[in-house]
Amino acid sequence: MTAVTDFLLNRSSEPRLESPAPDPATLDRAFACAARAPDHALLRPWRYLVVEGEGLEALGELFASTCANNSDEKEIEKLRRAPLRAPMVIVGIASPKTHPKVPEIEQVMSAAAGMSFIEIALQDAGYGVMWRTGGVAYHSSVHAGLGLEEHEQIVGFLYTGTVSAPKPAVPRPGVDEFVRHWP
């Protein structure tokens, strides 16, 4: 196999991230990779928001606003601080188009593939990433606060920055545990 395969076999999510975040040229290259995601009918059913600096605090407030009035203050503070775990958060948004031959689910999968391509490109450039969702990704007030249209949905929050301390290797399943030949 190739260096690409070796890279994929060694990639991991990195939860401990610090500055610096990717520079504009690196980000542009990563987004260019996202545009290479499988995309039936070339609908480009995705878009991305880059959140940095004071925007991270605003995103934290938006996350905290999803808590009910009777929520535990500790839970609210955890949501408020979540975006501050990295110097940059990229919000991946599926933006499906109406098309007679391309169902919405295929378009959402295209957006998710694009997020994965961004993740791989940023790791290849030497940055760490952690793809997260959680309840905030599906909450209508977060969608409204980020300016999503009615038909759009969040496919993930990609936390990115420089790895401050690598995490221990995660055991992976053997191929025989999840692959079968049919019939």
**Residue 172 annotated in ligand binding:** no
CB 96 within 8 A of CB 45: yes
Q: Rounded to whole angstroms, how far apart are CA atoms 183 and 175? A: 18
**Residue 131 annotated in ligand binding:** yes
∠ CA 78-57-122, rounded to 5°: 90
Query: Tokens 């690196």 map to which residue?
Result: 26
Specify the DSSP class assigned to residue 134.
S
What's the Cα-to-Cα distance from 15 to each of 49, 133, 165, rounded to whole Å?
A: 20, 14, 9
CB 58 within 8 A of CB 9: no
Which residues are within 8 A (CB) of 119 and not within 5 positions of it... i.e. 6 or more apart? Answer: 129, 131, 158
**Residue 46 annotated in ligand binding:** no
**Residue 36 annotated in ligand binding:** yes
Q: Rounded to whole angstroms, how far apart are CA atoms 33 and 36? A: 5
**Residue 99 annotated in ligand binding:** no
**Residue 12 annotated in ligand binding:** yes
∠ CA 92-56-134, rounded to 5°: 50
Residues that constitute the known binding site for FMN? 11-13, 36, 40, 131-133
The annotation places the binding site at: 11-13, 36, 40, 131-133
